[in-house]
Structure 1
Amino acid sequence: MAPSNLPDAVLWDMDGTIVDTEQYWQTAQLNLLADHGLPPLTEEQELGMVGSSMADASEFFARLGVDLAPGEIVDHMNSTVMASILAELAWRPGALDLLGALHAAGVPNALVTNSTRVLADAVVSTLDTPLFAIVIAGDEVENGKPHPEPYLRAAAQLGVAPERCVAVEDSRRGLEAARAAGCATIGIPHGQTLEAHHAHLVTATLEGITPEALGELVEQVARETTQRENAHTAADAAPAESEAQL
């Protein structure tokens, strides 16, 4: 178990959060659409795709006119992205340092992604040290993000309370899932603007962030949650007290 001043676990999104694979997905999308005589996605469509599950993405491309079964669309995208990952994988600034520091401190890391298991395993296989205790992949859950199931499942497999975990995400969908699960959240914008209300902490990069800072974030969120609950309890009790005095 992690020391009390640290989070019990850190749950990491993959694409755009710890590795810069968004460019690979864009290339795969362009190739898929071009192969079927379709124009590139608009900027609005691309932003709407950020954080989507593979199932949702395949249905989206089918609606655009890609004449393939959803499973074939997933296979096409996976093969293109896989080739790019194996050729060159760029980690986002500070991600490897923080992963390593957490691992050294005894805090388990979980990879929680809407991507398929084969792609998640490809990313994990590039690490010299096994920094992830578990992997929750998008094709292994009934409900992908923004549903909280992936994060709830990760916490359950690690044997920790979601409220004692920090989730690190780059998309609004992912942050919605993590907050619904009860996690403290860090947003690292990448291709999609994140505002303060989307995460408990929004920062441009993970550089300089320590395990202790994540522990402080968990405690801060717990205090804020308790304060809100106490305020709601007091507000609910006030009318009852007024009625009792009548």
Structure 2
Amino acid sequence: MTEPTEPARQTPRRLAPPAAPAAVLWDMDGTLVDTEPYWMATESAIAEAYGGTWTHEDAMSLVGNDLLVSGRYMKAKLGLPQSPEEVVEMLLDGVVEQVRHAVPWCPGARELLLQLREAEVPCGLVTMSYERFVAPILEHLPPETFRVIVTGDQVTTGKPHPEAYLTAAAALGVDAAHCVAIEDSPTGAQSAEAAGCRVLVVPNHVPVPPGPARSFRESLVGTTLAELSLLV
């Protein structure tokens, strides 16, 4: 009599890890570095110098904006004699001076950035700040941490328009739809989403509404490449 044979045991199938994003595109102010208080302090100082009133609501309305939009707003609100472009230069003078004293990294941001660099995942910086403000911050990072840098003075139309994110993706030679953007503001999230990116939103000074391509995290502390890979 033939002994019954046990069914062959099947080796559990191992799922392949998700592919890494083609690139990770970073906002700067409020996402990589918490410089929003620097901008707000400078705005208030300008208002005080010209005898105007600057409220918390005014400051919040400028978070994430194209700097020329902010310059126009401040000129109109405070009745400044300078042109919007000159107001922007006044703002930059104030924040550059502050950032040279200390770079206020957002929790977990620098660690994630260096983790991506180690994993050779291309990173781009997509900010509405101007190059002269970005430069002193980049001095605190290893060379070529960002393979592409798109600043507000390099684009025709700033956030929430998608131009800045599309420009960064094109310069990296990748499809924006295969990228993860990290943002903190409604304006920035709208820009990245319109470009086709998946967006990891880490709200900072202003709330960000949900969106079809948006995922949310309270902080970048402990965020991993594997987690970003799941977004795409």
TM-score, L = length of structure 1: 0.84
Give secondary structure in 2 for the equivalent of 1:96. helix
Partner of 2:33: 19
Q: Distance in 1 between matches of 2:226 and 2:106?
A: 20
1:29-68 correspondence runs (5 A):
29-41=43-55, 43-64=56-77, 65-68=79-82
1:121 Cα deviation from its structure 2 partner? 1.6
Deviation per CA, 1:40-67: give whole Å up to 9, x if none.
22x3322211111111000001111122
Q: Does 1:167 align with 2:171?
A: no
Higher helix share: 1
Cα distance, 1:117 vs structure 2 = 1.1
* Contact 1:112–1:150 under 8 Å retained in 2: yes
1:221 is matched with: none
Aligned to 2:5: none
8 Å Cα contact 1:10/1:109 also seen in 2: yes
Matches of 1:199 and 1:26 in 2, distance apart?
Answer: 30
Aligned partner of 1:132: which letter? F
Q: Kindly report which structure 2 residues correspond to 1:86-235, keeping only aligned pairs within 5 A, or say none.
A: 86-197=100-211, 200-218=214-232
**Deviation by residue 1:153-176 (Cα, 9 ceiling, x = unmatched):** 000000000011000001000000
1:81 aligns with 2:57: no
Q: Distance in 1 between matches of 2:35 and 2:93?
A: 13
Describe the shift of the 1:93–1:144 C-alpha distance in structure 2 as closer, same or farther (beyond 3 A): same
Counterpart for residue 3 of structure 2: none
1:147–1:177 contact (8 Å) kept in structure 2: yes
Q: How many residues align?
A: 215
- The answer as to whether partners of 2:43 and 2:59 remain within 8 angstroms in 1 is no
CA distance in 1, matches of 2:57, 2:94: 23
CA distance, structure 2, for counterparts of residue 60 and residue 45 of structure 1: 9
2-side partners of 1:121 and 1:201: how far apart? 30
Contact 2:186–2:209 (Cα < 8 Å) also in 1: no
Contact 2:27–2:182 (8 Å) recurs in 1: yes
Deviations 1:84-140 (A, max 9, x none): 110011100110111011111111110100111111122111224431111100011
* Distance (whole Å) between structure 2 residues aligned to residue 144 and residue 125 of structure 1: 25
Using the alignment, how far apart are the partners of 2:212 and 2:32 within structure 1?
18
Please tell me the residue identity of whatever aligns with 1:147: H
Report the TM-score, using the length of structure 2 for normalisation. 0.89
**What residue ranges of structure 2 are gaps of 5+ in the alignment?**
1-16
Q: Which has the larger radius of gyration?
A: 2
Using a 3 Å threshold, how does the CA distance of structure 1 residues 179 and 118 change in structure 2: closer, same or farther?
same
AA paired with 1:191? H
Aligned to 1:243: none
- Alignment-derived partner of residue 8 in structure 1: 22
Partner of 1:71: 85
